[in-house]
Amino acid sequence: MPFNPNLTRTFAEVDSFSDLDVSFLTSRGIKALILDLDGTLVEHGRDNLSSQTISKIQEIQARAIRMCILSNNVSSRSYSITSSVNMDLLQATPLKPHPESFLCAMKKIGIDDPSQCAMVGDNFNTDAGANSVGMHFIYVKPIPGTEPIWVKLTRSYAAWWAKLHHFSRKLTN
């Protein structure tokens, strides 16, 4: 993160996925969302989506915004979760934050213009990599879970770094 703090730009920040404002997205030309799974839609290790998350997904689908899930951690549990909401699950290959993973997800959902797409995720280390291809990044506060301690530490450090960078940039502008 310290090597390229400009990749920590956020298009929006929300407390939870359910707090996404669909009207805000459509008014700014967003036609597709690429969603992170663990920590964004579900807590790590959980086998199903909350009713609030399912409702938000259905609301977004009703507005004809295309969606898929892009995860660095794909398992049979992940496929079960995504099939419950009729959404494609893509394993990030190469892993996020590599630009190719975001470009592959855009291709999968049929979007050519990255400015019409937003990555929704809880991790500045991985999900904010969407900025590198011209996509927007929507930061969601992580859902607390049972992820490994190294994930918690690196995610917390990256969020701290992003906030510090953006705070100092606001002071100098």
Q: Of 17-21, 123-127, 129-133, 156-160, which gets the smallest average pLDDT?
A: 156-160
The CATH number of residue 80's host domain is 3.40.50.1000
pLDDT in tens, 97-139: 999 999 999 999 999 999 999 999 999 989 999 999 999 999 9
- For the CA atoms of the chain, what is the radius of gyration? 15
Using DSSP's 3-state secondary structure scheme, residue 73 falls into coil
Question: Cβ(7)–Cβ(93) under 8 Å?
Answer: no
Domain hosting residue 28, numbered range: 5-172
Q: Which of 91, 18, 93, 84 is nearest to 46 (CA)?
A: 84
**Contact partners, residue 156, CB within 8 Å, separation at least 6:** none
Query: In total, how many domains does the chain have?
Result: 1
Rounded alpha-carbon distances, angstroms, from residue 137 to 84, 115, 132: 25, 10, 10
pTM: 0.89
